[in-house]
Structure 1
Amino acid sequence: MTKQGQGFGFGMGKMKELAEAFKKAQQVQEGAKKLQEELDQLEIEGAAAGGLVKVYLSGNQEPRRVEISPDVMGEGAEVVSAMVLEATQAAYENSTATMRQRMEELTGGLNLPGM
C-alpha cells in the first residue's frame, strides 16, 4: 500500500535544499574561475643550496623563471642540475600547497548533498 501525496519522496523541503546547494555550487564555480586567475598571477619560489638556486612557478604550476647564483657555477653541471631539480621540486610543492589552501578556503563550509 502506497501513501498518497508522496510522489517520488522529493518534497518541497528537499527542492529548497537542492536549489540552495545549486546556488552555492554556482558561487564556487565563479570563485574557482577568479581563483585560477589569481593563481596565475602569483609567483611562488622554490630554493636550493641556501637560496643560491631559485625556481619560480605560478600558482598554477607554470614555470616562470630560474635564478642561479654565479657562486655555484664552478660546482659543475651535475651539482648545479641537482640544485635546480631540488629548487623545482620545492617550488612545485609550495605551488600545489598554495592551490590546495586557496581551494579549501573557496569551498570551506560548503555542504553539497552527495559530496
Structure 2
Amino acid sequence: MQPGGQFDMQQLLAQAQQMQQAVMEAQAEIAAAEVEGQAGGGLVKVTIKASGEVVSLTIDPKAVDPEDVETLQDLVIGAVNDAMANAQQVAAERLGPLSGGLGGGSLPGLPGF
C-alpha cells in the first residue's frame, strides 16, 4: 500500500501476472504428467496422462477368463478410475498452493477443478 492507504496498482498487477504465469506453468506440468492406476491387485494396470489420455493398458493373463468377461471389464474400469483419481491428486498437489488466490473458482481445462 502507498501512503494514505491506497493500493499500488502496478504492484498488484505484477503480482497477478506472476500468479498467472505460475498457474500456467503448473498446468503445463500437469498436462505432461503420467500417472498409473490399477485394479485387482495389479492384474490390470493403466497409465494415463493427467489430461485424461490413456497411454497404456496392461492386463495380466490371469485376469482373462473367456467365461467371465464382466469381471475383466470391471477391472479395466476400476484401473482407469484409479488413474483418474491419481491424476486429480497430482493436479491438486501442484495447484494447491496457487489456488488460494483464485477465489475458489474453477480452472479451465482441468477436469475436476
Give TM-score, length-normalised by structure 2.
0.73
Structure showing the higher helix proportion among its residues: 1
Contact 1:36 / 1:60 at 8 angstroms: preserved in 2?
no
Distance in 2 separating the partners of 1:64 and 1:24 = 37
Question: Alpha-carbon deviation of 1:41?
Answer: 2.0
Larger-gyration structure (1/2): 1
Aligned: 1:29 with 2:20:
yes
Contact 1:61 / 1:96 at 8 angstroms: preserved in 2?
no
Q: Secondary structure at the match of 2:52?
A: coil
- Number of aligned positions between the proteins: 100
Residue 62 of structure 2 corresponds to 71
For the structure 1 residues 12 and 56, does the alpha-carbon distance in structure 2 shift closer, same or farther, using more than 3 Å as the test? farther
Aligned: 1:39 with 2:30:
yes
Distance in 2 separating the partners of 1:72 and 1:22 = 56
Aligned: 1:98 with 2:90:
yes
Q: Secondary structure at the match of 1:50?
A: coil
CA RMSD of aligned residues (A): 2.3
Which stretches in structure 1 are left out of the alignment for 5+ residues? 1-10
Residue 110 of structure 2 corresponds to none
Q: Give the AA of the match of 2:85.
A: E
- Runs of 4 or more above 4 Å deviation: none
Residue 50 of structure 1 corresponds to 41
Give TM-score, length-normalised by structure 1.
0.72
Q: Give the AA of the match of 2:46.
A: V
Q: Give the AA of the match of 1:98.
A: V
Q: Secondary structure at the match of 1:57?
A: strand
Residue identity over aligned pairs, in percent, reads 29
For the structure 1 residues 70 and 13, does the alpha-carbon distance in structure 2 shift closer, same or farther, using more than 3 Å as the test? same
Which stretches in structure 2 are left out of the alignment for 5+ residues? 104-113
